[in-house]
Structure 1
């Protein structure tokens, strides 16, 4: 729904119709049986017309090429968020997903958009200057690049299998507009964009969203934190007609709740408590003197196999730790907002390909990125924001199951500081340790968040201006 339609009180009461239907035996199951499946996988759902969960990837009716691609990636069974999320999207419903890092939520919105675009391609090929049909918006360049890579991977497999070419373009700051426009001129099915660059292209009338039918906002809470609320509203003003809107978030700030109530009639899916740390992560705390931190960091690395993520709150600590590790012969790379985009990209790629064993980063630099082989996460200091800890610092592996695959998270604290000892515990609120409420209702946390919103622009946000995103 566009802003103009909202102003005119135009509403769409029914979800967009799709040709996809669940398997017959799933449709014949009772609601009690569906609820047992959700309870087994700790899936909470709210809304009207909730589609049934599906426990098998094959029964979600993806093309054979996509199934082979998933198998090559070692994905044989859906995660809890995929069990409920993919059928919900394929059924055409608006959706809000609240899930912890490492839940593989990226496949929840990338695979369905490929299915929808494939269906359109078979009905009527796109002409020049047409598209996008599916739009995915990410807060950071690195996250957009990662999402675009996933789409390209499965589109390439489909082209090999059926000779159907689905075009996907990446629109972010730091890249040539000329190159991006060259792809768009030939017609594009899917677009992955950051808010700043997309807003710029729309205002210059270089991109049209007239036939867009599918919108996914990844890391929606992070977009609000970065101050992109105005850009998102501008983008929505260019929409026409009904669309399927998806919001993905690890937390649920008030602004997102208000937006959802005003613009959507969604199915809400929650895997785990909003703002809570993943239960699949083993967390440990060590108390170390400030002057001994660097040496202890090296000791930790000597006890764990690669790959290892190290988080620090300040860019200066990232640089100092990185330099120290290099001097000690550790294959390490570092990323933060003062490094240029090419340097950050190269660092992430070499770490992901295991050419480097350690990545040192600020919270924002890595939020939302997925590294599949993380063995250990080390927090060099206390994160100033509780959401950065539970959302960005603890769930990067995406691996669950055997203990060998579950990452350890080590919180290095100054001696005498026990303020974070109970994070992830079951004693009530993980932030203030109060017993009368959960972290999602913590008054101290809400007061701190309000204060932080007023300070936006003073921390490391990977860019010097909105157009850098």
Structure 2
């Protein structure tokens, strides 16, 4: 993780209260990132904010910390949260909740997360006990509203995260319906890696004189990330993918379709690579376990679709592989943003067959990356040099099977386990180590 500047502002300088600053220090988060420095004072002042920064730039804490401060000191009524964060995917919603968990606890606030793929009963029960800040996917929140399990009438501050992705997957109608259920004079925040024409209508309709904070142009973060285009014969592609996946280090591979994800993961496991598959067709239990295994390092390779990977905020991903080239420049940016996070270095490679060369060249240039392609074959010196590729063991490994986790044993009053908010029910993907928790003695910036 990059070292914070010694002359920059502190979280206390930005207006965060001492209890919250102390909580951040305990998590080894000692200095704000640029997007946090820019946005936190305006959010604390009650202004509407448009925030843009690349993945890993710290957007979650940029909106989450000041939201918590604004909600502190006035408990919410049952079923009536006062803060709302909308996220496009289950994984991203869970990651946001995890990133804000300790900070909410420090301020005595109740935090909950609701998303699809799991029964609504426990989520409704949690809301009935009272929640101050609710993190939700639009579809599940709409279901809970229809059931009368929640009301948005008391919501005073709302964040729409990854707004461009909401638009791309058709969630904007649901988002607007949900925003219409919140107070018209409430504070609205919109954060995303990109802010393009697809979200203009949302901004004009719901944000009042928003302050724009952008910490990066809409191009790939080439300063900390190396980008390479690998020309590969179609007949060699499967073998090349297997050798790249056999490298040392955490690797994420992007495939265009759910069926393709399963096929690539199965092929990798058949030659001895421990690989997980992540896409929207998996059960929530299996998705959570797969992401946790990747974050823990038990599964060094994750094969995923674009939509599923939106919620992956795991440090130390050293290589991103476009097994299937993305269809749009902004998808390239989002995929590439899984590595080179928070100032760390990373590598992005795109596998390109003969018939894809022209289209991929145009796409990468639009994304701000002008590349010269390199011809590679299985075992070639160039492939090893650029990716760390190695020969797979050839010994098949089994695929993980979905299981139902047993209920947690009740904790006694003397338990030394991590403190938990009363009534917290969500399952979170990843471990503290996988989600970027610093090792003892390591100073960390606010990169969430």
Residue 285 (str. 1) matches residue 229 (str. 2) = yes
- For residues 194-273 of structure 1, the aligned pairs below 5 Å read 194-264=137-207, 265-273=209-217
Task: Indicate conservation of the 8 Å contact 2:49/2:188, yes or no.
Answer: yes
Distance 1:431 1:150, change over 3 A: closer
Rounded Cα–Cα distance in structure 2 between residues aligned with 1:235 and 1:207: 12
Going from structure 1 to structure 2, the CA distance change for 1:213 and 1:323 (only over 3 Å counts) comes to same
Q: Measured at CA, do residues 423 and 76 of structure 1 come closer, stay the same or move farther in structure 2, by a change above 3 Å?
A: farther
C-alpha contact 2:156 2:187 (8 A) present in aligned 1: yes
Shift of 1:77: 2.5
Go from structure 1 to structure 2 and tell me whether the alpha carbon gap of 1:423 and 1:254 turns closer, same or farther (over 3 Å shift).
closer
The 5-angstrom pairing of residues 92-111 of structure 1 reads 92-111=46-65
> How far did residue 132 of structure 1 move?
0.7
3-state DSSP of counterpart to 1:227? coil
Work out whether 1:151 is the aligned partner of 2:151. no
1:298 aligns to 2:252 (yes or no): no
- Counterpart residue number, 1:394: 336
Unmatched segments (≥5 aa) in structure 2: 371-448
CA distance in 2, matches of 1:147, 1:235: 19
- Stretches of 4+ aligned residues off by more than 6 angstroms: none
User: What corresponds to 1:192 in structure 2?
Assistant: 135
Bigger mean CA deviation after superposition, 106-115 or 65-74 = 65-74
Match of residue 403 from structure 2: none
RMSD over equivalenced CA pairs, Å:
2.5
**TM-score under structure 2 length normalisation:** 0.75
Asked if 2 retains the 8 angstrom alpha-carbon contact of 1:137 and 1:218, the reply is yes
Please, which of 267, 274, 277 is the counterpart of residue 324 of structure 1? 267
Aligned to 1:19: none
Q: Is the 8 A contact 1:171 1:198 kept in 2?
A: yes
Q: Distance in 2 between matches of 1:257 and 1:417?
A: 32
Q: Larger RCO: Structure 1 or Structure 2 (Cα < 8 Å, ≥ 6 residues apart)?
A: 2
CA distance in 1, matches of 2:180, 2:12: 38
Specify the alignment match of 2:300 in structure 1. Answer: 357
Paired position in structure 1 for 2:376: none
The match for 1:84 is: 38
Structure 2 Cα separation of the partners of residues 325 and 432 of structure 1 = 29
1:171, 1:194 within 8 Å by CA — same for their partners in 2? yes
- Mapped contact 1:101–1:368 kept (Cα < 8 A): no
Which residue does 2:374 correspond to in 1?
A: none
- Asked if the contact 1:100/1:250 (under 8 Å) is kept, the reply is yes
Report the Cα distance in structure 2 between the residues aligned to 1:126 and 1:365, rounded to whole angstroms. Answer: 32
Q: What does residue 456 of structure 1 align with?
A: none
Query: How many equivalent pairs are there?
Result: 362
TM-score by length of 1: 0.72
Matched residue SS, 1:100: coil
After superposition, give the CA deviation of every residue in 1:234-292 in whole Å (9 maximum; x if it has no partner).
21222234111011122233241123123322011222223x22233211111111121
Pick aligned residue for 1:137 from 86, 89, 106: 86
- Alpha-carbon offset, residue 74 of structure 1: 4.3
Cα distance in 1 for residues equivalent to 2:264 and 2:348: 18
Q: 1:351 to 1:430 in 2, by over 3 A?
A: closer
Structure 1, unmatched stretches of 5+, are 1-40, 42-53, 159-163, 434-469
Question: Does the aligned pair in 1 maintain the 2:340–2:347 contact within 8 Å?
Answer: no
